[in-house]
Amino acid sequence: MGFDNWMPAFYQPNAVELAKQSSYLVGTYDSYNTAIPAQLNDSWLTAQLPDPIRKTCAIELADGSLKKGFRGNGFYLNPNCHLDYVKQRAKDIMNFGHFNSLFLDVDATAMAREDYSDNTSESEMLSAFNNRMQGLSEQPSLVLGSEDGNSLTTKGIAFAHGLETIGFGWTDKDMKENRQSPYFLGRWYPDHKPDFFFKPAKVKEPYKSLLFSPQYRVPLYQTVFHDEVINTHHWHSDSLKFTNMKTNRDLTAMLYNTPAMVHLTRDEAVKSTSPRLKALKHYQDGFEPIHEQLWNKALIDFSWLNSKGTAQQTTFSDGSKIIANFSDQVFDKGDIDVAAASINAILSNGEVIKWKAELN
């Protein structure tokens, strides 16, 4: 469970304690990638860093100018600068928020730059990101996550958001500007429930085929990192965001044994009849028993079970297999029988888990 900043935990510490008692990881978003002046944007508390850090840690370009920060705000920072402050602030956040987890934005994206202020190379900056994550992860009772979990920057992290569904269409007008388009991702308000995160949208071509058609996907990342980093969607696009690609995304996640992501607001989190809570429970019912068996197992094989690529199988290092049927027809081949839009997980402990993408 993740908060977008630490303030809710300060106001409602009982919520954090209840989450931990229910065996959840609960943490907050934090970031040291962009620095902005205090009080410039109170909805972006993590970026409000002290002036000495904002001024002395800013990345310097070859022409002597400072690298503008995220969306042109403030400045991007060198991750090797003022590590003592970063470690202390993270420690304070964990202490006062009573968290058992922390989500560190950007550090695991491998977004490296040269810094001419101290001649930091891109390779050295990657090392600095890895060292910072490793250092934070060594704090007691801190399970660390970050953005993407790129192969060059995974030290110290147990989970990551961003590579199962990446950010896309940044310059696509239908997705970003045209509010009449079915592909419009949504406004960044109201604050308590931004449309961008909760408004359903469709995916257009070419993204629809290139990013979400199972015939164009191969689990290369999971082959390397399944037993090391638990990866999921970028938080821009939770499992319920794209209505015309929901089934494909759900089945792919189950096939690769990666978790779903569901955004919640206060009004939905307190109602047992909430569609989002029902969806979350449906995901959990299928994912939990499989992941309990496979969380520390390597993904060692991937294959198509038919020529169209609508039936696919993953195999894990303990011999467990997951079969996904992406078609709207039953897949029946030999002793394999998988319902339409469903997965069968044949686990090495003898369990067989069957799960259908659409909630009945």
Q: What is the pLDDT of residues 16-30, one digit of tens each?
A: 999 999 999 999 999
C-alpha–C-alpha distance, residues 206 and 55, integer Å: 42
Q: Rounded to the nearest 10 degrees, how much is the dihedral formed by the CA atoms of 105, 108, 111, 117?
A: 80
Q: What is the largest CA-CA distance in the chain?
A: 68
Per residue in 233-245, pLDDT tens?
A: 999 999 999 999 9
- Phi/psi for 135 (5° steps) reads -65, -45
Q: Which residue is listed with tokens 């979400």?
A: 212
C-alpha–C-alpha distance, residues 208 and 254, integer Å: 19
Angle value at C-alpha 344, between 343 and 345, nearest 5 degrees: 115
Per residue in 110-150, pLDDT tens?
A: 999 999 999 999 999 999 999 999 999 999 899 999 999 99
Per residue in 337-350, pLDDT tens?
A: 999 999 999 999 99
**Is the pLDDT assigned to residue 360 strictly greater than 80?**
no
Pairing, β 27-30 against β 101-104: parallel
- Cβ-contact 196, 187 below 8 angstroms: yes
Q: Shortest CA distance to 325 belongs to which of 259, 247, 260, 273?
A: 247
Model's pTM, two decimal places? 0.93
N- to C-terminal Cα distance for the chain?
A: 25
Q: pLDDT tier at 271 (50, 70, 90 boundaries)?
A: confident
Q: pLDDT tier at 359 (50, 70, 90 boundaries)?
A: low
Cis peptide before 206 (omega within 30 of 0): yes
